[in-house]
Chains A and B, each alone.
Chain A
Amino acid sequence: GAVVSQHPSWVICKSGTSVKIECRSLDFQATTMFWYRQFPKQSLMLMATSNEGSKATYEQGVEKDKFLINHASLTLSTLTVTSAHPEDSSFYICSANSGTQYFGPGTRLLVL
């Protein structure tokens, strides 16, 4: 199947700092990528749809100024958690479509 990578795999940061997470499609091009967050023992919650060359589409309740998404190329989307707080600590996962939906390995964020 298609390969989606994420970087970093985990990050610890201080409250108030910003964290950037990269999502790459390694062997295919993706005009659309998705960003999810997942709390322990819960399902995946869609945060936003990242569209190459245009603005992201955010789900209801997700602050676009808090979670900045940039999809500058057909193989890269980035999610920046701005002014992170402890409640932003979560597992962030991206996905991209190549025939079907493939997921990255996830990024675990811990905000102290």
Chain B
Amino acid sequence: GESVGLHLPTLSVQEGDNSIINCAYSNSASDYFIWYKQESGKGPQFIIDIRSNMDKRQGQRVTVLLNKTVKHLSLQIAATQPGDSAVYFCAERDTFTSGTYKYIFGTGTRLKVLA
């Protein structure tokens, strides 16, 4: 079936460096994508989203890039801080002809920020 996967299960970066977390998705019809941050024992926290008619969107210290040609999504975190240590998930939204939708989550990448 359709799936969203990540290339790297764990990413270690030095504090102050930039982080890039990648995600591959397989449903070319997905129209909306979200990046979430999940800290241990907590629910996922919304970071940034992007619609399929865009290829880049910037937030505070974060940028999401969407490459529909190769079905690839990435999250860039600038000047990574210790508080950024968490598991990051990408999610794609599948919308059905009925108008209903659901989200499919990737496997997750653990980001470790080294002091």
Residues of A bordering B, CB below 8 Å = 1, 4, 6, 32, 34, 42-46, 49, 57, 91, 93, 95, 100-106, 108
Contact at B41–A103, with CB atoms within 8 Å? no
Rounded to whole angstroms, the CA-CA distance of A50 and B115 in the bound complex is 43
Partner of A104, one of B43, B89, B100: B43
30 pairs from A and B in contact (CB 8 Å cutoff): A1-B46, A42-B107, A43-B89, A43-B105, A43-B106, A43-B108, A44-B44, A44-B105, A45-B105, A46-B104, A46-B105, A49-B100, A49-B102, A57-B100, A91-B41, A93-B43, A95-B44, A95-B103, A100-B34, A100-B46, A100-B49, A101-B91, A101-B93, A101-B103, A103-B36, A103-B43, A104-B43, A106-B41, A106-B43, A108-B41
Q: Which residue of B lies closest to A48 (CB)?
A: B102
Question: Is B42 located at the chain interface by the 8 A CB criterion?
Answer: yes
Chain A residue with the shortest CB-CB distance to B9: A41
Taking the closest CB of chain A, its distance from the CB of B77, in whole angstroms, is 19
Residues of chain B whose beta carbon lies under 8 Å from any beta carbon of chain A: 34, 36, 41-46, 49, 89, 91, 93, 100, 102-108
Partner of B42, one of A34, A102, A106: A106
A55 and B8 alpha carbons, distance in the complex (Å) = 38
Q: How far is the CA of A43 from the CA of B38 in the complex (A)?
A: 10
Q: Provide the bound-state CA to CA distance between A57 and B105, in Å.
A: 18
Bound-complex Cα distance A100 to B89 (A): 15
Task: Tell me which residues across on chain B come within 8 A of A91, comparing CB atoms.
Answer: 41
Measured CA separation A49–B102 after assembly (Å): 8
Complex Cα gap A44–B4 (Å): 12
CB-CB nearest in chain B for A60: B1
Please tell me if the beta carbons of A44 and B89 are within 8 angstroms of each other in the complex. Answer: yes
Chain A residues lying within 8 Å of B45, measured Cβ to Cβ, are 103
User: Cβ of A46 and Cβ of B44 under 8 Å apart?
Assistant: no
Q: List, in ascending order, chain B residues with CB within 8 A of A101's CB.
A: 34, 46, 91, 93, 103
Contacting pair A46 B103 (CB below 8 A): yes
A29 to B91, CA, bound (A): 22
A43–B108 Cα distance when bound, in Å, is 6
